[in-house]
């Protein structure tokens, strides 16, 4: 899948995709194979000339015109599901669900619970779901906020974000200890993956989006230092969490 995003907001969305893809990969999570593709003048012209000639479920495809340039894409993967995830018992490694949520809180991903943003891959002889974190175009509090400059202030104010089966995953992964381990993993990923992520972002995207890599780096490190407080890791200490007749005592 290629995201033909253009302009300031589109460039911000693609920067978000590249940075978060590399961070989540560096944190040991499963991600889609990502590529930067180049659309030539000839390809853009040919694409634009065919607009409106195809159908999607019987409806004319939307008129998305493109220009020559670089775009973010992911390699197609088959045999997977786009959700929903019904039970923590169906998950191959609950700690990966905790990792995804902690990293989502770090980068302020606003739409993990949207269907398709957590891909389920049947795995192993028991066919439990291996989790693939996908679609990171709305991190940094959203692509619009990321492109308009309001994201830095918002990331200071925002606490935890929504997720999928988060209380159950935290409980299955050791409560506070599991959360602190996930935060330590995020620290490792920032130290080892952020520079490489920046190197993968085409300079033209930074220019279009009016975002500086130094701003992203400073904001993420500051947010990481505040993360134990922002997500209240102490709440999950000892017996202060659990279920009452199957209903989690905290809903995220």
The strand pair at 69-74 and 2-3 is best described as antiparallel
Q: Classify residue 238: in a domain, yes or no.
A: no
Q: Which domain holds residue 42?
A: 2-226
What would the pLDDT profile of 81-100 be if each residue is shown by its tens digit?
Answer: 998 999 999 999 999 999 99
Query: Could you tell me which residue, 247 or 19, shows the higher pLDDT?
Result: 19
The number of domains in the chain is 1
Q: For residue 40, is the peptide bond before it cis, meaning its omega torsion is within 30 degrees of 0?
A: no
Contact 248, 167 (CB under 8 A): yes
List the structure tokens of 238. Answer: 């000892």
Through-space distance between the first and last CA atoms of the chain, rounded to whole angstroms: 30
Q: Classify residue 250: in a domain, yes or no.
A: no
Residue 15: what pLDDT?
97
Q: Mean pLDDT lowest for which of 89-93, 102-106, 241-245?
A: 241-245
**Greatest pairwise CA separation for the chain in angstroms:** 63
H/E run at residue 60: strand 59-60
125 confidence band (pLDDT: 50, 70, 90): confident
What would the pLDDT profile of 174-225 be if each residue is shown by its tens digit?
Answer: 999 999 999 999 999 999 989 999 999 999 999 999 999 999 999 999 999 9
Q: Classify residue 232: in a domain, yes or no.
A: no
H/E run at residue 128: strand 128-133
Counting residues of the chain whose pLDDT is more than 70, the rounded percentage is 87
CA 126 to chain centre: 27
Residue 7: what pLDDT?
82
Q: Classify residue 236: in a domain, yes or no.
A: no
Mean residue pLDDT of the chain comes to 89
What would the pLDDT profile of 144-184 be if each residue is shown by its tens digit?
Answer: 999 999 999 999 999 999 999 999 999 999 999 999 999 99
Query: Could you tell me which residue, 11 or 48, shows the higher pLDDT?
Result: 11
Spatial separation of the C-alpha atoms in residues 167 and 94, rounded to whole Å: 11
User: Considering only CA atoms, which of 92, 183, 107, 165 is closest in space to residue 138?
Assistant: 107
Residue 211: what pLDDT?
96
User: Considering only CA atoms, which of 91, 85, 86, 248 is closest in space to residue 171?
Assistant: 248
SS3 3: strand
Average pLDDT over residues 128-142: 96
Q: Classify residue 235: in a domain, yes or no.
A: no
Angle value at C-alpha 145, between 143 and 146, nearest 5 degrees = 60
Query: Could you tell me which residue, 50 or 145, shows the higher pLDDT?
Result: 145
Query: In Å, how far are 30, 96, 107 from 164, measured between CA atoms?
Result: 16, 12, 16
Average pLDDT over residues 66-70: 88
Alpha helices in the chain (DSSP H): 7-26, 41-49, 94-107, 143-148, 151-157, 166-172, 176-200, 203-209, 213-230
Q: Classify residue 244: in a domain, yes or no.
A: no
Output phi, psi for 56, to 5 deg. Answer: -120, 110
The DSSP call for residue 62 is: P
Residue 251: what pLDDT?
46
Query: In Å, how far are 5, 116, 133, 249 from 127, measured between CA atoms?
Result: 36, 19, 18, 29
Q: Classify residue 237: in a domain, yes or no.
A: no
Whether the full predicted model's pTM is greater than 0.85, yes or no, is yes
Q: Classify residue 51: in a domain, yes or no.
A: yes
């Amino acid at each position: 899948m290629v995201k033909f995003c253009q302009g300031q907001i589109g460039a911000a969305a693609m920067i978000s995709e590249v940075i978060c893809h590399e961070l989540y990969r560096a944190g040991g999570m499963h991600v889609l194979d990502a590529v930067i593709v180049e659309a030539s003048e000839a390809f853009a012209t040919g694409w634009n000339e065919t607009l409106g000639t195809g159908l999607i479920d019987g409806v004319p495809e939307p008129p998305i015109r493109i220009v020559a340039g670089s775009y973010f894409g992911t390699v197609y993967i088959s045999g997977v599901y786009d959700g929903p995830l019904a039970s923590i018992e169906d998950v191959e490694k609950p700690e990966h669900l905790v990792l995804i949520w902690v990293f989502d809180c770090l980068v302020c991903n606003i739409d993990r619970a949207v269907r398709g943003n957590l891909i389920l891959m049947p795995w192993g002889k028991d066919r439990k779901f291996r989790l693939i974190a996908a679609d990171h175009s709305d991190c940094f509090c959203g692509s619009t906020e990321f492109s308009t400059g309001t994201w830095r202030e918002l990331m200071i104010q925002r606490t935890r974000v929504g997720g999928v089966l988060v209380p159950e995953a935290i409980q299955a992964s050791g409560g506070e200890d599991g959360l602190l381990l996930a935060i330590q993993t995020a620290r490792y990923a920032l130290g080892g993956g952020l520079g490489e992520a920046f190197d993968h972002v085409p300079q033209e995207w930074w220019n279009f989006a009016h975002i500086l890599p130094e701003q992203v780096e400073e904001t993420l490190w500051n947010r990481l230092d505040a993360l134990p407080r922002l997500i209240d890791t102490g709440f999950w200490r000892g017996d202060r969490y659990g279920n009452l007749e199957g209903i989690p005592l905290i809903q995220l």
